[in-house]
Amino acid sequence: MTRRQIRGTIAIPVLGALGAFLYWGLSGLPPFGNYHGFYGHMVSILSLPQRHVTNAVTATVFDYRGFDTMGEEFILFAAVTGVVLLLRKSGEDEEGPPEDTVTSDALRLFGLLALAGGVLVGLWLAAYGLVTPGGGFQGGVAIASGFVLLYLTGSYLAFARRTSESALDPLEAVGAAGYVVVGLAALIAGLPFLANLLGPGKPGTLVSGGSLGFINWAVALEVAAANTILYKEFLEQYIVPIARGRKS
Amino acid sequence: MTWLLPLPVAIPLLAAALVAAGDHVTPRIVQNAIAVLAPAAATGFSFWIMLETQHGLLIHWYGGWHPIGNLAIGIGFVGDSLGAGMAVLSCTLVTLALVYSLTYMRESSRLFDVLMLVFCGAMAGFSLTGDLFNMFVWFELMGVAAYALAGFKVEELGPLQGAVNFAITNTAGAYLILMGIGLLYARTGALNFAQIGHFLATHPSDRLVVVAFTLVLIGFLVKAAIVPFHWWLADAHAAAPAPVCVLFSGAMVELGLFAIARIYWTVFSGGLHAHQGDVRSLLVWIGVVTALVGAVMCFLQRHLKRLLAFSTIAHSGTMLVGIGLLGAKGLAGTANLILSHGFLKAGLFLAAGIVLLRLRDIDELRLHGAGRNLRWERALWFAAAIGLIGFPYVGVFVGHSLVDEEASGQGFAWVPPLLLVAEAVSAGAILRAGARVFLGWGPKRDPLLSWEPEESPPERSASVPLLLAVTTVTVAIGLVMSVIPGLQVRIENGAERFVDRSAYAARVLHAKSTPAPPHLPFAIEVAKPESWAYGIGAAVLAFAFAAAGLWYRRLPELVLGGIVRGLGPPVRALRAAHSGIIGDYLLWLTIGATVVGGAWAFSLR
Amino acid sequence: MNFLAYGVAGWICIVGLYGAIVSKNLIHLALCLTVIQSSTYVLLLSVGYRHHGTAPIYKGIRLGTNTVDPIVQSLALTDIVISVTVIALILALALDVHKKLGTADPDEVVELQG
C-alpha cells in the first residue's frame, strides 16, 4: 500500500467517529425552521427605522457589523498582495504574450457589449445594495468579471493593457483605505469608530443610510480592483508559459 | 478614553493601504517612514490602553451600537489588561521586525511591508475584540498575511512547502472554529462573548455546547501549535525570513493560546462550570505532552530556525498548562511567559538571521566554529538562551514559577518536574547549537541531527550594526521581564479580573462600573525557595543536556548503547511522524479532534 | 426533515476532510477545502431559516413580517469572501510548487521533514 492508501484506510473510521460526534452536537440545534434568536430579529426590525435602509443584510454587513466587513475587506487586500508576492517573476527573462487576438468581428462586438453590460450590472448592484439584494461586494465582482471578457473576446494584450498594475494597485488601496478613513472620520468627530456622520437619508432610495453609502462604494472599488488583479495574475501564469512553448 | 481602542487596528491597516497606494509615486524614504511609524504608533496607543485598563475594562462599540436592553447588536472592543498586553507585545514585535527589515529585506520590500502592517493590525484586533465572529475575522486576516509571508522566498521549495502546510492546516482549523460559532449562534442568538457566556451560564449545557467548545478549541489549538496539531509550525518557521519568524513565534502562536483563555473564561466557564475538572485535565495533559515532544524534536535539529521553532512548541505547551489549570495564578504565569518568551525567542530568530547574513548558512554542523569572530552575536545568542531557561530573576523565571505554583496548588505536582525537563532540553539544544557555531565545540558531525535544505541568504548590503542594535534591544527587553518592578502584581491582578466572567458580562452588557482596583505597589516579588530550586535545577540540567548533545559519544559504550536501545525506537517514530506531508497533518488533525471530542462526549455529557 | 439540513452540513464537512487527506493534487486539495467551507454556509444559513420566512429586505413588505435571520446571511457573505481569498493564496502556492517541482502531488513535497 502507498502512504496515501494507508492514510485513506485510517481516515475512514476516524472520520466516521468525527462525523458521529458532529451529528451528536448538531442534533442539539432547534428543529429546522424554528429559529428564534433575538439578535437577527432586533436587526430586522431596527434597520429600517434606525438606519433608513430597507435591506437588513446590507445594514448588518456595513453598519451593525460593519467592523467585520472592514476586516474582511483587508483580507481581500492582503490576499491580493500575497498572490502578487507569491507569483512575482523570479528573475527569468520576460517574454511577450502570445498572439491570441480574436479575429471575429461579431465576437468582438459581442464582447464589447457584454463588457459594458457587466460593468453596468455591477454598478447597479452596488448602487442599489442598500435597497434591494446586492451591495458593494457583489457589484465589485460583477465589474471585475466584465473585464475578463476583454481577454475572452479580445486578446490577452488588450486585457493586460487596460488593467495595468500602476492603475489598479492604487485604486484597490484607495478602496481599502476609504473604509478606514470613514471610520476614523467619525472618531475624529468625537463619535464611535464607523458611526454615521451624515443624516440617515430617505428610505428606499440611493441616498439612504448616510455614511453607509460611502463604505458601500469604497468596498465596490476595492473588490472590483482586487478581483481584476487576481484574474490578471493567474491569467499571466497561464498565458506566459504558452508563449514560451510556442517560441521554443 | 474609549476612543483609543480602534487605533491599534486602524492605524496599521490605513498605513498598509497608503504604502500600497503610494508605491509608484512616493519616495522610498516616505514609504519606510510610514512602515515603521505606524506600528510604533499602534504600540504607543496599545500601551496607553493597557495603562487605562488598570482602572477597569475599556469598551468601544463600533458604529455607536450600544447594547439595547442587554442585547449586543453591534461589535464591541473590550480592552482589559491582558488583552491590551497582547496588543502591546504584537505591535512592539512588528515595529522591531520592520526596523530590522529596513536593510534586511530589500527585494519586493513594498509587498513585504504591506503584509507586515496588515498582520500588525490583525493581531491588535484579535487581542482587543469582544465578539466571537469578529475574532474569527482577525484570525483569518492574520492567517492570510502570514501564509503569504511564510512563502516569501518563492524561488525555493522549502518555503513553499512550509507555506502550503501552514495555510492548509490553519484554514481547516478556521473552518472548525466557524462551525463552532454557527452552533453557538444557533443556541444563544448572540455573537458577543459576554452575551453568549451569560446565556450559557443561565441555561443548562448539553451536547451542543460540548461540540461547539470542542470545535472552537481545536481550531485555536492548531494556531497555538499544540500536539497533535503542531506540525505546520516547524515547516513554516524553518523557511520563513527571520523577521517573519519573530512574529510567528513571538506573537501569533501565543495569540492562539490567548484566544483559548479568552473564550473559555468569557464564553464557556459558566456553562461548563460543572465539568471544569475534565477540561483542566485534558488541557494540562496535552500541554505537558506538547512541551515534551517539542523539546525532544528541538534537540534533534541542526537547522537553527527549525530548532528554535520546536523550542517554541515546547514553550507553547508550558503556556497551555498555565492556561489549562484554569486558575488566575497559572494564567498570570502564562501571560508573563508570553511576554518574556516572545522577546527572547524573537531575539534568537533575529540573531539567526544575522548568522545567515554573515556566514551565508544556517546549519549548525556546517557552521561549526564559523562564528568564532562574531562576538556580539555570540553574546546575544547565549544571553537569550539563558533567559529561556528560567534561571532565578532572569527572563522566563517568574512565568515558570507562577505556572508551577498553580500546578502544585491544584494537585498536579507531577507537572512541574516534567515542564522543567522540557525547558531544560530545549534550552540545552539552543545552548549546544550556540556552542558549536560560535565556539567551535564538539564534533563536526552528528548523525543524530536531521538534515534540512539550505537557505538562500539575504543581500550583503544589509546594515549589520542596525540589525545588531535591534536584536540587542529585543533580547534585553526579554531578559528583564522578571525584574520589572510592579509588573508581576499587575499581571496577577489582570489575570484575576480576566477570569471573572460575571463582572466582565456586567460591564459589557449593562455598563456597570467595576470597583476601583487596589493600589498596586511597584516592587519586585521575592521568589519562593522552591522556585529558586527549580530555576537553578533547570539551569544545571540545561547545561548538562547541552554538554551531552556535544559530547555524548564520549560516554562509555555500555551507557551509550543502553540509551540508543531505549530511546532509539520512540525517537525514530516521532521523527518519522514529522513527515512534512500535508495529508498526514490533516489526518492527525482529524484524529486529534476525534479523540478530544470522543473523550468529552463521554466525560462532559 | 427537521435535522436533514444540519446532517448535510456535517456530511459535507466530513467528505471534504476525507478528500483533503487523500488528495493527489494541491489544486484538488484547495477545492476540498472549499468543500469543507461550504459546510459552514449550509450550517449558517439553515440555522437562521424560519418557516415561511421571506428575505429580510423591507422593500414592499411591512415591518414585522416574518423573515429569515439577516445576521447569518451577513456572516455567510463574510465567510464567502474569506474563503475565496484564502483559496486564491493556496492556488498561487500550488502554481509555484508546480513550477519548481513539475508536479503538484502533495506527497512529493517533502523538502522539510524530521
d(CA B557, CA A139): 74
Question: Number of B:C CB contacts under 8 A?
Answer: 130
Q: Does A11 touch chain B (CB under 8 A)?
A: yes
Which of A24, A29, A50, A239 to mutate against chain C (most C CBs within 10 Å)?
A29
Work out the average pLDDT over A107-119: 86
Yes or no, beta carbons of A32 and C69 under 8 Å apart: no
Secondary structure letter of residue B70 according to DSSP: T
What does the pLDDT read at residue B525?
A: 82
The pLDDT, as a whole number, for residue B146 is 96
Distance from CA of A50 to the nearest CA of B (A): 11
Domains annotated for chain C, with CATH where assigned, are 4-102 (1.10.287)
What is the tens place of the pLDDT at every residue in B113-146? 999 999 999 999 999 999 999 999 999 999 999 9
In eight-state DSSP terms, residue A30 is: P
CA-to-CA distance for A127 and B468, rounded, in angstroms? 54
* Mean of pLDDT values over B322-333: 96
Whether A62 shows a pLDDT value over 90: the answer reads no
pLDDT given at position A93: 45
C29, C43, C112, C113: which to substitute to probe chain B, counting the most B Cβ within 10 Å?
C112
pTM for this one?
Answer: 0.95
**Residue A59 vs residues A56, B70, B432, B501: alpha-carbon distances, Å:** 5, 21, 59, 31
Residue whose C-alpha is closest to residue A117's, from A145, A159, A158: A145
Phi, psi of B192, deg, nearest 5? -75, 135
Q: What is the pLDDT, as a whole number, of residue B149?
A: 94
**Nearest by Cα to A240 from A140, A78, A97, A126:** A97
Return the higher-pLDDT residue of A73 and A40: A73
- Minimum CA–CA partner of B573 in chain C: C114
Residue B509: partners with Cβ closer than 8 Å, 6 or more residues away: B67, B70, B72, B192, B194, B195, B198
Of B164, B165, B90, B79, the residue nearest B120 (C-alpha): B90
The ipTM value here is: 0.96
Q: What is the pLDDT of residues B288-305, one digit of tens each?
A: 999 999 999 999 999 999
Average pLDDT over residues B166-180: 95
CA distance, residue A232 to nearest chain C CA (Å): 12
* pLDDT band at residue A204 using 50, 70 and 90 as cut-offs: low
Query: Nearest-CA residue of chain A relative to C6?
Result: A26
Q: Which three cell numbers stand for residue B143?
A: 492567517
Q: CB A19 to CB C11 under 8 A?
A: yes
User: If contacts are CB pairs under 8 Å, which of residues 239-298 in chain B contact chain C?
Assistant: 239
* Closest CA of chain B from A101, distance in Å: 30
Q: Which of residues 126-185 of A touch B (CB under 8 A)?
A: 166, 169-170, 172-174, 176-177, 180-181, 183-184
**Cβ separation of A26 and C9 shorter than 8 Å?**
yes
C-alpha cell of residue B199:
446565556
Interface test with B, best of A23, A60, A74, A237 (most B CBs within 10 A): A74
Kindly tell me if the per-residue pLDDT of C103 is higher than 90. no
B345-394: pLDDT as tens digits: 999 999 999 999 999 889 999 999 999 999 999 999 999 999 999 889 99
Question: ω into residue B159 within 30 of 0, thus cis?
Answer: no
Among A112-116, B319-323, C63-67, the least confident range: C63-67
* Closest chain B residue to A84, measured at CA: B111
Q: Is B29 exposed, middle or buried (0-12, 13-18, 19+ CB in 10 A)?
A: exposed
Given this model, what pLDDT does residue B133 score? 96
How many angstroms separate the CA of residue B453 from the nearest CA in chain C?
A: 7
Given a contact cutoff of 8 angstroms between Cβ atoms, the answer to whether A99 and A242 are in contact is no
> Is the pLDDT reported for residue B456 higher than 80?
no
Name the residue ranges covered by the structural domains of chain B: 2-511+520-577
- % of chain B surpassing 90 pLDDT: 73
Within an 8 Å CB–CB cutoff, is residue C6 touching chain B?
no
Mean pLDDT score of chain B: 92
**Mean pLDDT, range B142-151, rounded to an integer:** 94
Each domain of chain A, given as residue ranges in start order, spans 53-247
Contact with chain B for residue A88, Cβ under 8 A:
yes
Contacts B10 to A, Cβ<8 Å: 180, 183-184, 187, 193
C-alpha pair distances (Å), B167 with each of B35, B158, B255, C19:
25, 14, 17, 17
Cell of A11: 481516515
B495: Cβ–Cβ under 8 A, 6 or more apart, which residues? B82, B328, B329, B331, B332, B335
The answer to whether residue B46 scores a pLDDT higher than 60 is yes
Rounded to 5 degrees, what are φ and ψ at C57? -125, 115
> What phi and psi values does residue A195 have, to the nearest 5 degrees?
-70, 155
